[in-house]
Structure 1
């Protein structure tokens, strides 16, 4: 199925999808593979910002009359109302393939949309029955293929899991099925040059978060995924720093994208994440970007776990530290910032990297106030990944202790 000049392969050797396309411009690759899927009615979901650019025009020109519908934007954290509007639109237009151009909510949205279409979920009550919480019995697999053209590094396109926000409660709910997710992911580093710096770099830290929480997990499956997490970390962090220094360099951008694949391969082994992810899920409905949640929370959660964990927890963090200090570029930046290998903890090191990239480091930086912490902590306790943190987070007091570390006001503990 590869086009001339294209590299086309499975993302994960043990799974039947997704495939990855590199080497071609995204419009050419998309047009080729729409034809290869024998699709004739394309529904495009494009971010609002990209819809106003020449990049979207190029995609429209490449697909031509095959486009039967376009949705410009899905609101942050994928509200169910948006999902159901698109489900109805795709159904009415008879689309036979979904193409997303953008990242974040578009990616999760396409997964939930395809799952809803397969299971005739056309109302909020219908959609509610398909959530992880409600444990749907024998749901039908997705049938409409999805092509993702991502512009960030959050990695959701590689996962059969999606989060979307119940607009009745503003609580983010999970959806999962082996059939969910992209059939093809087109990686074009030239396209990503137009991604805003804060989104590119913060979502890169999101993937770093996957690797770090994966390597620190106490789950028995973690050692099986450790090699992929370590490889991802070694690709992601140095190349995020290189991208920060030379914004238009495509080589480091593609290396970041490949690091995301490794991070998601590790996650694909079933390793549960920890407190940074769990708290981050509930920061989302408060308007905090996917990647920014990791920038703020990962250093704090690492510090909390080191302070309250046992020797095994600390030993796993040391392995993460060895990876960082073993990369010459990272070690140089850490030393420049006054950190010493035998004294700095994993939280300090991750915090230094986030700071070097110029990303937000407190809740204040991302618009969350002290007055919101109480309700936030209550919502966080509903997230399954708090219980799988290396130091299980089972009480409101524990969550508030972590949040207090990163409030960013004059009363903050850090």
Structure 2
């Protein structure tokens, strides 16, 4: 598999701003060392690494070896959906160590944690209550982070391409949004590293990116190829490239709507980040099809999917009349072919938490940006009824 690597390619992820820079072509330890020793000139690097990745692979050891004596400290593990309480001791240790660079090795919860950690350090907030006080989106008067952040992602959720971070206040089981304004500085893509990611996590976080819509042509087909051959490094790289395109939509301020809004609040109730989109996206598309203008927009997306040879072949194998199938139907078939969960029951959701999910969803920033603005509990329940059972 190592033959995929050659020389480094690096460039800004987006043509509308200079950060983050994307790097690929080198194994992740080598690429990280090149930038830490070079343009970032960092000497006190703090690494936050995935617990499962550290437990099951030598990835952290390889990274530490490449960075050598520039590693000032290491923390292993941050819980799903980034519990704020878990960040408090990391912030304290990073402060005491006088770090000048953060490096993440792992998935989205670690990425969000690092974004919030450097935001907290910049604003000298060290307790849960004080961290919660800097929540909210721009405009605000909080100090932007100054410590560089390098992200080495192992999933496709895409949080490494934007400044905004999500974290969970555990007592309320509610996701909060923080906007440090400053993006991560560097994202290192390594498709070989990503072969260590469990299939269900890799594919489901890819659907989280599909939820953004942009980059769909590249991403949707590449995910199916990864399902067919988990060792296909080029397919994994195409997935990573598709995520960059998907996140451009977010960077341009495209609103994310009901699937993200309800998904943000479903996550802290025990559902993984990517699987929220697997469950909710077709249901929200079905709900939005009540609006004629949205039907026209969905038809454009449907056509894009049908034009993908691998997806067209998948639909043909299911005896689907492609000229009549709507977007929700095609997405449902696609997700089932990927082996993704499609209902709340599939992920063991506790029905006793349904009322909490409904009420929390109505507080999410994105809920009113849906194609049909969602302002009532009855609307959230209508969507959730489609994914119950």
Match of residue 218 from structure 1: none
2:86 to 82, 85, 91: 82
Deviation at 1:363, TM superposition (A): 0.5
Match of residue 221 from structure 1: none
Structure 2: how far apart are the matches of 1:389 and 1:336?
Answer: 33
In the alignment, structure 1 residue 140 sits paired with structure 2 residue 121: no
Match of residue 57 from structure 1: 61
After superposition, the C-alpha distances for 1:317-362 in whole angstroms (9 at most, x for unaligned) are: 1011010111111111112112212221111111111100001111
Q: TM-score scaled to structure 2, two decimals?
A: 0.96
Match of residue 112 from structure 1: 116
In the alignment, structure 1 residue 251 sits paired with structure 2 residue 251: no
Does the CA contact (< 8 Å) of 2:263 and 2:277 recur in 1?
A: yes
The unaligned stretches of length 5 or more in structure 1 are 212-228, 409-414
Structure 1: how far apart are the matches of 2:368 and 2:320?
Answer: 31
Q: Secondary structure in 1 aligned to 2:11?
A: strand
Q: Secondary structure in 1 aligned to 2:303?
A: helix
After superposition, the C-alpha distances for 1:83-135 in whole angstroms (9 at most, x for unaligned) are: 222111100111110000001100101111111111111112221221117x7
Q: Secondary structure in 2 aligned to 1:297?
A: helix
In the alignment, structure 1 residue 386 sits paired with structure 2 residue 389: no
Match of residue 198 from structure 1: 200
Match of residue 274 from structure 1: 257
2:33 to 31, 34, 49: 31
Structure 1: how far apart are the matches of 2:96 and 2:340?
Answer: 42
In the alignment, structure 1 residue 331 sits paired with structure 2 residue 312: yes
1:374 to 349, 352, 355: 355
Q: Name segments (4+ residues, structure 1) moved above 4 Å.
A: none
1:210 to 212, 216, 232: 212
Q: Secondary structure in 2 aligned to 1:267?
A: helix
The unaligned stretches of length 5 or more in structure 2 are 1-5
Q: Aligned pair in 2 of structure 1 residues 136, 8: CA closer, same or farther (>3 Å)?
A: closer
Q: Secondary structure in 1 aligned to 2:113?
A: helix
Structure 2: how far apart are the matches of 1:265 and 1:313?
Answer: 21
In the alignment, structure 1 residue 73 sits paired with structure 2 residue 77: yes
Q: Secondary structure in 1 aligned to 2:211?
A: helix
Match of residue 284 from structure 2: 301
Aligned CA-pair RMSD? 1.3
Q: TM-score scaled to structure 1, two decimals?
A: 0.90
Match of residue 167 from structure 2: 164
Structure 2: how far apart are the matches of 1:132 and 1:48?
Answer: 29
Structure 1: how far apart are the matches of 2:20 and 2:154?
Answer: 17
Structure 2: how far apart are the matches of 1:56 and 1:124?
Answer: 28
2:156 to 149, 153, 156: 153
In the alignment, structure 1 residue 128 sits paired with structure 2 residue 132: yes
After superposition, the C-alpha distances for 1:341-392 in whole angstroms (9 at most, x for unaligned) are: 2221111111111100001111011111332211210111111211111111
Match of residue 396 from structure 1: 377
